[in-house]
Chain A
């Protein structure tokens, strides 16, 4: 077989170029830390990355939704528990007021305190988060409770609720309308307090006693609401924990498909560098091999 000079140079050059190409590839992987940057790097993996990134974006958004929901639920929880405390205090005062030994004057004094507590209760029922009322159903721009005439308090919100997405086709309610907490189906806390005030100020002992029963119902209703709110908060937290795990899993899947394995890339780089070095040395050797050297 003849060996022409073109063959030697051509082969060497071809090998050198291929090695350089692989060096470039390895360097790109090392500098970008990604092995799949373009669809043609690995079409299959690229498709998966696109889908996984979408899943990751959804999961992260669900976590955001939950954080948002938690702020509302926490505010509601705090408000209802404060309302509980107020009702408990009102109940204590009512017991005092219903006692035989309490004078008409005493009842008037109690009524004054109860009125204070009623105002606090009203304030709590009108709790706002970021300028939005949390107990007016979806009419978040409408003050849910305000006194109409005398001690009567009316509900101005609606009975709708709001939910946030926390997973694929999963939503959790983050809004509980005030008319199922304060002015609910069983009893209306504000009506009870109003009647109590009337009884106290009218020195009507049996009326005060009757209010005691209503107050118990109100406490039960608030506890119910608190249980519901606690349950929702718990669901949000549990879901968030699961989503945190899912985020990790998806991130890992993306990383597996997309991120360069630095050790492999660096090894590949070194290997190709050695190949280039060897080829370059072979190149210089060719000059030593010419017949010309022996014909002096």
Chain B
């Protein structure tokens, strides 16, 4: 056992503690970095030397810089990101069309229907009064206006969601490329025996971003590369290769894009139906299911209003003796196209007979009773009940999206806390490590000074 060996032990210790302090430093500096996993230096004794009476130690070395991570929690977090993405997208998509149901402020379709039928009653009260007739025509215009406006809003919202779907596809492709790049870097680092801790953290972050966009499953291979699958097993990232998604305009869906998967021979695999989570799921559901169903409801309501009112109106006589006049344009049987056909208030057919003009109001009364008549085309409900059910069902969809989202946010927060418990940096802990390794560093340098003094002592014997 030479004095040089003692020097060696001291130098090793200095280097090792310095490294330990760097790890501590890395942890402290990344205390607020999202996705950062706490690193820990694993120290071990170096190989001892045989000696008498027994083996003598040769010092310390850093065996490994370990990344503290619980793969189970990471997996759950990834799933949670998928749900957050999905619920968040649904909620904000529906939130934007909710103002359409402005009935609590008397600005919705329901309120417009009430005013329309009230105006008919005023005409029935006083069939000869031209003011009442003018009011009726303007209330009818308000009603058709509400329908038109709602139709435009819903169509616009679908377009906007389509834009977000396209953006989502671009983002997914970009993230997939970055994951593949990191796969390569990690593979090269780890094949030479390194632990690519920080690169793995980065990749984990990217995978979470990806999960927020689309539901993914991941599988790490023996070289540390992660393979990412989407839909029902389509490979998005395989080692260093990526497969692209693309948005293909679908003419039977108003030119909105279908999400297609390109397995290498063109974007031909439809993916839409097998996407089960992430923002894309929320966007596609809102764009292709929830909003279209609302559109259908409004169109049905508009069509029934037009046909019921017109049928009754055509049976009556206007002040000018006109009959068989359409009140609403008979071609406008969708919410978008609904419009008032009558422009001449004298043609409003309040009378049921030609002879009864101007005071006969029987036809106007018949029209007012349509307000409370169950309509077969609306599933045997009244106009108002049909509209109310649609508003209720839309509200329930949005409410459950909101509730799902806030529940998921709480779950997500708990998962983040779980993750922090394993992977988060505790400044107290790091402070203790800082002191621990600093002291050790100080004493290790003392070891070198002592060895040096011993060497001086030996050297001085010669003199």
Do the two chains belong together in a single complex? Answer: yes
Which among A32-40, A87-95, A179-187, A192-200 touches the partner chain?
A: A32-40
A129 to B410, CA, bound (A): 69
B157 in contact (CB, < 8 A): no
User: 12 other contacts beyond A138-B351, A164-B365, with CB at 8 A cut-off?
Assistant: A2-B422, A6-B416, A39-B396, A42-B395, A47-B391, A51-B384, A54-B388, A61-B122, A65-B124, A164-B124, A169-B369, A291-B431
A1 to B420, CA, bound (A): 11
B residues less than 8 Å from A150 (CB atoms):
none
A291 adjacent to B361 (CB under 8 Å): no
A68 in contact (CB, < 8 A): yes
Residue of A nearest to B395 (CB): A39
A11 in contact (CB, < 8 A): yes
A263 in contact (CB, < 8 A): no
A171 in contact (CB, < 8 A): yes
B408 in contact (CB, < 8 A): no
Interface residues of A (CB under 8 A from B): 1-7, 10-11, 14, 34, 36-44, 46-51, 53-54, 57-58, 60-62, 64-65, 68-69, 130, 132, 136-141, 158, 160, 162-165, 168-169, 171, 175, 258, 290-292, 295
Task: Mark contacts of B353-390 with chain A using CB atoms, 8 A cut-off: 1 yes-contact digit, 0 otherwise.
Answer: 10111111100010011011000000000001101110
Most buried by B among A41, A54, A292: A54
B359 adjacent to A36 (CB under 8 Å): no
A119 to B415, CA, bound (A): 96
B435 in contact (CB, < 8 A): yes
Shortest CB-to-CB span from B295 to chain A, Å, is 16
> In the complex, how many residues of chain B place their beta carbon closer than 8 angstroms to a beta carbon of chain A?
73
Interface residues of B (CB under 8 A from A): 31-32, 38, 94, 98-99, 101, 103-106, 108, 110-111, 113-115, 117-118, 121-122, 124-129, 351, 353, 355-361, 365, 368-369, 371-372, 384-385, 387-389, 391-396, 398-399, 402, 409-410, 413, 416-417, 420-429, 431-432, 435
Shortest CB-to-CB span from A6 to chain B, Å, is 4
A258 to B105, CA, bound (A): 11
Shortest CB-to-CB span from B184 to chain A, Å, is 30
* 25 pairs, A vs B, C-beta closer than 8 Å: A2-B421, A4-B423, A4-B424, A5-B426, A6-B416, A38-B99, A38-B101, A39-B392, A39-B399, A40-B395, A40-B399, A46-B391, A50-B388, A64-B118, A65-B124, A130-B126, A132-B126, A138-B356, A141-B128, A141-B358, A141-B359, A160-B353, A164-B365, A165-B369, A168-B372
Instruction: Out of B110, B121, B353, B426, name the residue touching A3 (CB < 8 Å).
Output: B426
Interface of B is mostly: helix
A61 adjacent to B427 (CB under 8 Å): no
Sort A-B residue pairs by CB-CB distance and give the 4 closest, nearest first: A4-B424, A39-B395, A138-B359, A43-B395
Shortest CB-to-CB span from B302 to chain A, Å, is 17
Most buried by A among B32, B392, B421, B422: B392
A58 adjacent to B372 (CB under 8 Å): yes
B residues less than 8 Å from A44 (CB atoms):
392
Given A39-B392, A57-B115, CB of A10 within 8 Å of CB of B417:
yes
A residues less than 8 Å from B106 (CB atoms):
53
A36 adjacent to B358 (CB under 8 Å): no
Shortest CB-to-CB span from A42 to chain B, Å, is 7
Instruction: Out of A3, A10, A39, A140, name the residue touching B394 (CB < 8 Å).
Output: A39
B residues less than 8 Å from A54 (CB atoms):
110, 113-114, 371, 384, 388
A17 to B263, CA, bound (A): 44
B413 adjacent to A11 (CB under 8 Å): yes
A175 to B360, CA, bound (A): 10
